[in-house]
Structure 1
Amino acid sequence: MHLHRLTLLIGALCLIGLYSVMKLQCEGHGCEFQAANISGHTNHRKTCLLWRISQDQQSLRRRERAAAQSMKKALKMKKKRPKGALVENLDTAEITMGEPSTAYLRSPSPSLPPPASPSPPPPPALTQSGRPRRNYTLPERFRDVLPALPDPPPINEPNPPALSLPRVRLIVRDRFISALNIFGLWRDYPHRPSFVPDSAVSVADLANDGLSFTDAPQASLFSVFSHSPPWPFRNMSIYRLMTFFNSGSVTKSAEEANRLVEDVLLAPDFTTEDLRAFNAHRENQRLDDAISDPESSPFLREFSSHTINIDVPSGSKDVPPSKFSVPGLLYRKVTSVIRAAFRDPLAHHYHLSPFKLFHRSPETGKEERVMGEIYTSDAFIAEHDHVQLRSPVPPNDPNCKREKVIAAIMFSSDGTHLTNFGMAKAWPIYLMLGNLSKYFRGLPNSGAMHHLAYIPSLPDSFQDFASTVHAKWKTQKKNILTHCRRELMHAIWDFLLDDDFIHAYKYGMVIMCLDGIERRIYPRLFTYSADYPEKVLLATMRDRGLCPCPRCLVPKSLLDRLGLARDGNVRLKLREFMKDKVVLARHLIYELGHSITGIRVEELLKELSAVPTINAFASKLSTDEAPFNPSKMLVVDLLHEFELGVWKTLFKHLIRLLYAASPQGDLIAELDFRYRRTPTFGHDTIRKFATNASEMKKLAARDFEDLLQCSIPAFEDLLPEPHNERLMKLLYRTAEWHALAKARMHTDSTVELLEALTTEFGQLIRQFRDLTCSAYNTVELPGEAAARVRRTKAVQDVNSAAEVTKVHSGGPNTAAAAVTTPEGLAAATSMLAPAIPPTSSATLMTAASEQSHTATVGQDQRNWASSRRTKKLNLHLYKLHALGDYANSIRTFGTTDSYSTQLGELAHRLIKTLYARTNKKDALKQIAKQVNRRTVLRNDSPTAGAVESEELANAPVNVHHIISNTRRSPINIYTFVNERLEGQLDPAKKGFIPKLQDHLLGRLLSREFDGDSHEDFTDEDRNDIRITGNTLYSVHLLRVNYTTYDIRRASDTINPRTHKFIMVRSPETGPNAHPFWYAQVMGIFHTVVRHTGPRSQTPYKEHHVQFLWVRWLGVEPGHRSQRRHAKLPKLGFVPHTDPYAFGFLDPSFVIRGSHLIPSFASGTTSDLLPAQHTVARPSTSMDDWVNYYVDM
């Protein structure tokens, strides 16, 4: 041993001596430096840019070799695959947005080589009924591929270069291209990132169901920048109790009780002795004081209150404008919110460097851009490059070498009612950062939606003030109110975009990020999500003007030209803020006393639907070299523009058509029946239609989305031909357009498809209007007519009350003239309310007049049907025109779910929850305090980032399926098979035991699944299968995890009673082959079996086997489907005479659940299974539906 050590020591000394006389040459191409020793050589590498370039080039060549090997491997797998196993059919793949990983296996992009599979046998023969037999071939085994992101690049510390190089060398050194992952995705970073959040992403982080966000590996860093519990309380017992109190639901529930016990009472650091003299109000005040202390909470600022002043014109040349103060703006500084966001626990998921995501087809080698997140969008990359090249550093720090990073600001605002009844309301402004993935921002409890401000409304006293300062208030009241509301909105934004924000916008602001590195953050405004009325305010344009689009200058007369060439040309001219004309118009109004809608003002602004209000965004964010155009930030809004816009309008008119086609209401009753019989799907994908769909009572956007997805079977054959065919095609394209517009991942091909589909949809809906709608005399719906009568009567009542007020006061009636239309009702009511004396209606009218009034109302209500007005399908809508902007918006900012107003609607839930905790007095201030409390306690909690769903924590998402091993429902197999219902055996159980034995034998012998048609199995072989105790164990649920088309992990729960349909891969080939087969799950079982006999591979081992008992469906012969025919696939049950109409299935073959909707127009039949009572049908059903449609 000593001799060996001595030998090593001598060798090391010799090496040192050798290196002392050698000159070490730098490996950088073109560098002639030679080091005298290893230390000098190492130090030279740190500053040698030529060496870095050489290393980057070598790394690039290694990645190219790895990509080539991956491609070679994929092609090799393709050769092993039987011809036709991969169905390249764009018609199905493009529109099936809810399909699993095989959806993108079949799509032209992104694609993935499917697993090797045995050669499929010949196509199945047809039964006498024309449906395919399943004697010889059944589903291929499904390869469940877990989601994965492209490999992250090596971290590049943001050190400044020691030397300057030509631009071309900087590009070569700085750019990074990742290797292809298993899905053929790769990233192209224009600049090598210094921080890669995806390096910490797990499979659980890519799950959609029940997930909040998982424990962060950098959690130890949080204590450096945040307070540790029990701050600011005295002990952990109080901390845990107050954390429970300031989180969760406001109502008592079993879940809240469990949370109290597990998170508080059973915590090891909780003791009741710490709660002596406890007072919740005092502890909340302690927390509020800590938040307001700059030293203890340097990043999170409490909400402040501010009064906004607006100028009210006098209407007279000689009288200057008056200032009116609007109190009650609760706000936080934008820069304060950004600083707090970058110190939030979620900040370790922020993408600080943009990149382009690409997909490469393993078959064709074609590369396509993939669009999804804001930080992979063209807008983010362009702004990032602009900041790197042109954004200056502040004068007081001219030598700043910190990394420049963008904070991608995304605003959202919308008014909401806080209660179902009453007048309480709120108008919050939310701020999100596009640096964070949309999947985190879409979680309501993640804390990614920051509350920025709560907008106040014009108080009731404003009308009293304006009536005294404006000379023409009586005749211009409506215009003055509208103008002052616009002025208030932009005065608020002018205040929020303060000097600190403008300084940060120009020079950036230094923030130490969670990785301990200081960076210069440049806030940039990307999107503002709002509904149309709010877009009108933000774009400083008039509502329903001559040019009603907030993004372009399309005339109102061309709004129905969606998809035409002229429509595309009009969109090229963007709306811009016309500062010069607006300033001149304001001079006319405020200094010369002109009317807001006077002739001189209208000559300047009316043609382009402009208004005399200074746009705060254009005035604050514009520079001499780069003017800011507010119209670009007003992104599309699928929720209001399509689901509650175009589709709601179309659906409502379809109801009118059915009334016109059948005045007795038979078609309406049939439509309501069909929607009620439509099965639900998923956790909340398709909900139950509990009420009559035709009445549209209290329907939200998600309900209209469900109506659309289930509309084709519901409306089929309700109208005669050719109107029915025209309607079916329109409904198919409408649902297809909605699916593409709402897709969470897009490629160049799918965006081009969306553009083509938008053109076709525009043609179809105009054709439907001109040919079908014109054939029917459609009138108002009963609800529309009744509502119109109520509005008209309400206006008459207000005018009558105004007449009474005139008699009592002796003054002129100023309100009656103003209330001439239903639109003026609200304003008139609020104006007259203080003036009407608090007397009953009996004192205002005689008994005779009261009787006359009652009789008139009753007569109006009885005659509403005869007075219904004609209603035509109106396509001159901004919301229809807006559909043409979706493809461009996806290319610019990513997919629509990233900036949907649905995110703001979800955030409203928190405000409504917190409102219930207030005493209803000055509620918004109390809500603001509670928002801050929740933010602090969430960030400082030792459990911050834990998975919220216990079920998800116990059930890993990386396994394919989960079946409970419970034995609560044992079934004796012989008793089950011989059970008689009303004296008859169930035909569905015919051959149950031998089929089960064949299935178990095939699995235990590791045979490829062939539908259990093992013709070489004898009765002796079957008797070698021993089911322990002859007992099967039945369970209720099967959970199937699958990878979605957007590389996320999701799950479906299969239940034989409710969600019973599944889909599996099909081995069928041919140009018209359907890529999937479908089955109804009748039972979910597990059992313990032992295989004995000469063929047994494990004669003494017990095997726990899980299996499904299914009833197969086949594709309807002769039915042409897929998108080129604009028809859904149609299926039907295999007749009971087919020996393999019923069978067993390995759960690992299941891809996911499927939503099959009965073809109501085809009716029902008992021929497929002639039995009154069978386990294959619900106990309340005597027949089967002849056909089913596969929902889109």
Structure 2
Amino acid sequence: LINLASQPRRKKKKSRLQDNHIDSNLGTATSQMMDVETGLSEKALGKRKASDNQDFIDAILPQDAMDQTEDGHVSLAVDQHTMVPMDIDTMPLRAPSEAYVPPPTRRGRERRFPKRYDDFLPCTSTRIPHMPPPPPPPPPAEAPRTPTPPPLRPPSPTIGTFTTNVNEFGMYRVYPTLPSREVEENEELANICDGPGFPTSLPTNLQWEKVSGLSKQPTASMVPSSEELCGSEGVFGPFLNVTIFRLFRWFYTGSNMKSVAEIDRLIHEVIDQPEFDRSHVKGFSTKRILANIDRYLAAASPFSPRYGWKVSQISIPMNCEGVTHGNENDCPKLTVPNVHHRSLVDAIKSALTDESARQFHYTPFKQFWKPSDNAPAEPRQFHYTPFKQFWKPSDNAPAERVITDLFNSDAFYDEHIKLIKRPLTVEEANQPRIETAIAAMMMWSDSTHLANFGNASLWPIYLYFGNLSKYTRAKPTSCAAHHVAYIPSLPADLQTQYMKAFADTTASKDTISHLKRELMQAVWLALLDAEFMHAYEHGIVIKCVDGITRRIFPRFFTYSADYPEKVLLATIKYLAKCPCPTCTTQKKYIPALGTHVDDQRRSHRRQDTAEHQFDIRAARRSIYVLGKGPKSKFVDDILDKDSSTPVVNAFSERLHQHGFNHYNMLVPDLLHEFELGVWKAVFTHLVRILYSKGDNSVQILNERFRDTPSFGETIRHFGRNAAAMTKMPAREFEDLLQCIIPVIENLLPQRHNTIVLNMLFIMSTWHGLAKLRLHTESTLAALKENTRRLGSILREFLKVVCPEYNTKDLPSEEAARARRIANDLKKGKAVGLGQRQSKKTARTGARTQQEDASTAQPSDKTIKTLNLFTYKLHALGHYTDAIWQFGTTDNFSTQTGELEHKKVKSAYSRTNKGASFEKQIAIHHQRESFIRRFGESLARRFSPWSSTSPDTATPSTVSADTSSQAAPHLSTTSNIIPSILSFPSTTAPQYPNESVQPLLFSPQDHYHLPV
């Protein structure tokens, strides 16, 4: 820059080589390309480039640092050996110059600058991590006044509106309380720099030897000492040395199958390393190293939960029809051993002290947006505090709300306000005020098969934290899931225990179903123990990974599961009179989807009231005390009005007194309810219609799908027979929906073709809106309107099109029905070809039924029609409200939990496949997490170029200005960027009904900051 500053303002015509040299220094290669294209003369180029050079110098150098000599040269007003520091971040922004418009061609055609040459300008609020923040502006002069004596303790936080400045993209945030820090996505230099050799995305699993420079040619300053690399007491702890650590990291990462890629990883990551030494593996024993890891985890390790997994025994009361007892406690107990689970408090502590916690956000905020050509990137950090986002289409238009994640949804934001307004407990009153934050707990659970053959299965419960960005949570490599429990099945000796308790009486089918419901709630009662309840009410004081001590309150927000598991969690009957776990809409009204009356019925939400709990206790008393059956008329008369079951909900028993309604956390599931639900049913019935025509329509449909080109990894190539739907996952059904309109066109008569195409277009539109990753008020209104249209077109399709075709079972459905009949015959059940038969019919013998099943003709197929009386169709009307409450659907999709199943299946392959495989899976998961965190610790310890700022929090300093209109600014060692806050905001437009309150206390006295 100094050399450029010494250049004269006006120069004679340079050679093309000199011009190229100057252009490379100034970064104007793109302008030169356009000049060549437009055919400008070299003289014009020289004049314009000289002007550009001067404009560039004026922009980066202060005016008082330049002197112009008589000959036109510009010199710096500094000493010869002195470099003047330039505070670029605090310079006033210059108005952007007008875009260069190339002259028209000879024929008058307008020339346009190619979009690929447009530079992406980073946001001015971007903080370069390795550079110190700019000093705060000096406070305005103020008349002397009597100093205010310091308070004994910081005052309570004021809930108002604290607005940040608007950036180039029109984005700004509105906080309800002063945040202790603001986490941005630009925490690494790779995010704010660009170059041909730079990575396009941040690596998810950094290797410590690579980030520390220990790849091929390590330097003496970068290589750990021999004392650190070797010895059990050194840096590698239970791994003894660096070679064994790399070997075990290779073992617990990647694929379990031996492949070419895994051999390459073994060579490059273990053997072909400068520290590899054959003496490191002399006398090596895998069992001994694993035992060292387990002992290391059992001790007070900084990388693992302090107590780890627990093995408990659960007891469930058993009932028998006709057997009475004095009370429920006198009933015989069914013992369920070997229930593997973790303490939820330990899982929360582990998450907050993990490396991912360095990305937490602590204060909720609303975000507004003015649209621009370049949309800002979504944050990838962990949010400790929720916020709300808004979109402002123009200066005069009202601000529009934007929803992207759980931490800017209504549920998180409102819970944060509720937590701030609550009265302090005695424990909090006797301690210094510290920042209060929420650990947003998002639960997933689903049963999965662990092997292709056999009946080995696992029913895990996963814990995610909604403070973390959904893009991080969705990646299995981010290790954002915390395994907290493995739900067991009923013991194999159930009937033996039951007969011993009730004089050789076996348990009925209804009794076994009741015990399954009791088992689910018993597992959650074990998780919601006394330690967790104390943390729920009083919080957990944790020194987080960023060095700040906070009081963390765990709160449940969502529980993602498929419908059979939702029924267990909501303690309602399966597809009964009121099948929905969140509202009391009756099954007979489900086809009225999208109507005004349907919206009114949905407004009757399920509530965990005292009257409902009284009915549950009355029903249980009739079962355990009076000897009634779980499905007896006496019990149904009490609970049938809302299809409840006589089971005490664990969340109701523990959290009802704190105002928690467990029905609200059961969120919709787009994967099972639409892609594998409504859409699959509609597509299946369309194939039935094509089969009923009797021509080659099905073959044409399959041929058109095969001819559909793929689109990267988004739309994959369809198989040979798409209409058969053989072993088709949910993503392929999604691809079918996106491509079916041109495929099925004109395969039906014109009067039906129009209705079918309209239906498919509306379904595609609804699916696209429901899967948006960023929602605004406009898109949510469009989703609600398309829900109304979807219900209307489905009813029209069922009324107009379906009666015209005699649709029956598909070949695959017919084969599946024959297999069910054969399996029932093996079990001694008497069944017919289309329906169950009575015991009297079964006496005719199984041989006749086998002959009938084997000789069944196509005319014996069951008549099929499109069924609209399903919960999955009813659930589509709840998506708009769920997005408002908990964020977009990819936040709580069961697809996230399905991806985590890969880890437990991988761990199962490392077990001995014995009866205790659950314990072994838990141990392998703990070891894998330990190795990952151990590697992250090594990466921080040996990294010679850390681009992030120090993590240790230091007390902040405050300027002398305490005016309510002055923006607070902290010292350079504070965790908050003071220049972004303004109280009140003078640049950001306000959202309606939001009042901006001035800062009534200094940041040092604020409860968010350490004092």
Q: 1:709 to 1:338 in 2, by over 3 A?
A: same
More strand by share: 1
Most deviating of 496-505 and 915-924: 915-924
What secondary structure is seen at the aligned counterpart in 2 of 1:445?
helix
In structure 2, the partner of 1:141 is 115
In structure 1, the partner of 2:637 is 603
| Contact persistence 1:505–1:524 (CA under 8 A) | yes
In structure 2, the partner of 1:907 is 900
- 1:790 pairs with one of 814, 819, 827: 819
In structure 2, the partner of 1:937 is 931
| Contact persistence 1:186–1:358 (CA under 8 A) | yes
In structure 1, the partner of 2:919 is 925
Q: Distance in 1 between matches of 2:939 and 2:761?
A: 42
- 1:234 pairs with one of 231, 240, 246: 240
- 2:553 pairs with one of 512, 522, 527: 522
Structure 1: 5+ residue runs without aligned partners?
1-62, 81-115, 125-134, 801-815, 829-844, 947-1192
Q: 1:691 to 1:331 in 2, by over 3 A?
A: farther
- Verify: 1:869 aligned to 2:859, yes or no: no
In structure 2, the partner of 1:982 is none
Listed one character per residue, the Cα deviations across residues 1086-1142 of structure 1 (whole Å, up to 9, x for unaligned) are xxxxxxxxxxxxxxxxxxxxxxxxxxxxxxxxxxxxxxxxxxxxxxxxxxxxxxxxx
Q: Distance in 2 between matches of 1:770 and 1:213?
A: 55
What secondary structure is seen at the aligned counterpart in 2 of 1:329?
strand
Shift of 1:294: 3.5
Listed one character per residue, the Cα deviations across residues 809-853 of structure 1 (whole Å, up to 9, x for unaligned) are xxxxxxx8xx9999999xx9xxxxxxxxxxxxxxxx9xxx99x94
Q: 1:156 to 1:886 in 2, by over 3 A?
A: farther
Q: Distance in 1 between matches of 2:906 and 2:764?
A: 34
| Contact persistence 2:673–2:873 (CA under 8 A) | yes
- Verify: 1:309 aligned to 2:295, yes or no: no
Aligned letter for 1:629? Answer: N
Greater relative contact order: 1 or 2 (C-alpha under 8 angstroms, separation 6 or more)?
2
- Residues 390-469 of structure 1: pairs in structure 2 closer than 5 A: 390=422, 392-393=424-425, 395=427, 398-469=430-501
- Verify: 1:338 aligned to 2:348, yes or no: yes
Shift of 1:720: 1.3
Aligned letter for 1:195? Answer: R
Shift of 1:397: 6.2
Q: Distance in 2 between matches of 1:652 and 1:313?
A: 43
Shift of 1:677: 1.4
Shift of 1:750: 0.9
Shift of 1:561: 1.1
In structure 2, the partner of 1:579 is 613
Shift of 1:558: 0.8
Q: 1:559 to 1:580 in 2, by over 3 A?
A: same
Aligned letter for 2:826? Answer: D
Listed one character per residue, the Cα deviations across residues 366-391 of structure 1 (whole Å, up to 9, x for unaligned) are 32211111111111111111111206
Q: Distance in 2 between matches of 1:385 and 1:335?
A: 23
Shift of 1:247: 2.0
Q: 1:403 to 1:929 in 2, by over 3 A?
A: same
Q: Distance in 2 between matches of 1:744 and 1:471?
A: 59
Most deviating of 388-397 and 178-187: 388-397
In structure 2, the partner of 1:543 is 574
- Verify: 1:775 aligned to 2:785, yes or no: no
- Verify: 1:482 aligned to 2:508, yes or no: no
- Verify: 1:194 aligned to 2:204, yes or no: no
Q: Distance in 2 between matches of 1:573 and 1:166?
A: 44
Q: Distance in 1 between matches of 2:166 and 2:502?
A: 68
- CA RMSD after TM alignment: 3.8
What secondary structure is seen at the aligned counterpart in 2 of 1:232?
helix
Q: 1:251 to 1:295 in 2, by over 3 A?
A: closer
In structure 2, the partner of 1:244 is 250
Most deviating of 415-424 and 456-465: 456-465
What secondary structure is seen at the aligned counterpart in 1 of 2:335?
strand
Listed one character per residue, the Cα deviations across residues 625-662 of structure 1 (whole Å, up to 9, x for unaligned) are x422111100111001111111111111111111112x
In structure 2, the partner of 1:212 is 204
Q: Distance in 1 between matches of 2:751 and 2:111?
A: 40
| Contact persistence 1:791–1:822 (CA under 8 A) | no
Structure 2: 5+ residue runs without aligned partners?
1-88, 128-132, 137-147, 193-198, 213-223, 225-232, 373-392, 941-1011
Aligned letter for 1:940? Answer: F
Q: Distance in 2 between matches of 1:514 and 1:413?
A: 28
- Verify: 1:264 aligned to 2:294, yes or no: no
Q: Distance in 1 between matches of 2:937 and 2:332?
A: 54
Aligned letter for 1:593? Answer: G
Q: 1:164 to 1:492 in 2, by over 3 A?
A: same
Q: 1:165 to 1:283 in 2, by over 3 A?
A: closer
Q: Distance in 1 between matches of 2:402 and 2:589?
A: 33
Shift of 1:589: 0.6
Q: 1:781 to 1:822 in 2, by over 3 A?
A: closer
Q: Distance in 2 between matches of 1:280 and 1:513?
A: 34
Q: Distance in 2 between matches of 1:484 and 1:169?
A: 48
- Residues 974-1013 of structure 1: pairs in structure 2 closer than 5 A: none
In structure 2, the partner of 1:616 is 650
Q: Distance in 1 between matches of 2:751 and 2:105?
A: 42
| Contact persistence 1:314–1:469 (CA under 8 A) | no
| Contact persistence 1:150–1:180 (CA under 8 A) | no
In structure 2, the partner of 1:669 is 699
Shift of 1:151: 3.8
| Contact persistence 1:197–1:348 (CA under 8 A) | no
| Contact persistence 2:366–2:408 (CA under 8 A) | yes
What secondary structure is seen at the aligned counterpart in 2 of 1:694?
helix
| Contact persistence 2:522–2:650 (CA under 8 A) | yes
In structure 2, the partner of 1:357 is 367
In structure 2, the partner of 1:888 is 881
Paired residues in the alignment total 774
In structure 1, the partner of 2:669 is 637
Identity of aligned residues (%): 38
Aligned letter for 1:720? Answer: P
Q: Distance in 1 between matches of 2:589 and 2:305?
A: 50
In structure 1, the partner of 2:530 is 499
Shift of 1:494: 0.6
Listed one character per residue, the Cα deviations across residues 291-347 of structure 1 (whole Å, up to 9, x for unaligned) are 122466663542221111101113235344210111121111000011000111111
What secondary structure is seen at the aligned counterpart in 1 of 2:340?
strand
Aligned letter for 2:709? Answer: P
In structure 2, the partner of 1:1087 is none
In structure 2, the partner of 1:1162 is none
- 2:542 pairs with one of 511, 522, 528: 511
Listed one character per residue, the Cα deviations across residues 762-819 of structure 1 (whole Å, up to 9, x for unaligned) are 111111111111221111111112222221232233227xxxxxxxxxxxxxxx8xx9
In structure 2, the partner of 1:841 is none
Q: Distance in 2 between matches of 1:166 and 1:289?
A: 44
Q: 1:639 to 1:161 in 2, by over 3 A?
A: farther
Q: 1:315 to 1:732 in 2, by over 3 A?
A: same
In structure 2, the partner of 1:322 is 332
Aligned letter for 1:672? Answer: N
Q: 1:465 to 1:710 in 2, by over 3 A?
A: same
Q: Distance in 1 between matches of 2:540 and 2:341?
A: 20
Aligned letter for 1:280? Answer: T
Query: TM-score, length-normalised on structure 1?
Result: 0.61
Aligned letter for 2:893? Answer: S
Q: Distance in 2 between matches of 1:201 and 1:887?
A: 34
In structure 2, the partner of 1:729 is 758
Listed one character per residue, the Cα deviations across residues 945-987 of structure 1 (whole Å, up to 9, x for unaligned) are 89xxxxxxxxxxxxxxxxxxxxxxxxxxxxxxxxxxxxxxxxx
Q: 1:256 to 1:300 in 2, by over 3 A?
A: farther
Q: Distance in 2 between matches of 1:873 and 1:913?
A: 39
- Residues 650-665 of structure 1: pairs in structure 2 closer than 5 A: 650-661=682-693, 663-664=694-695
Most deviating of 902-911 and 738-747: 738-747
In structure 2, the partner of 1:383 is 415
Aligned letter for 1:925? Answer: K
Q: Distance in 1 between matches of 2:925 and 2:834?
A: 39
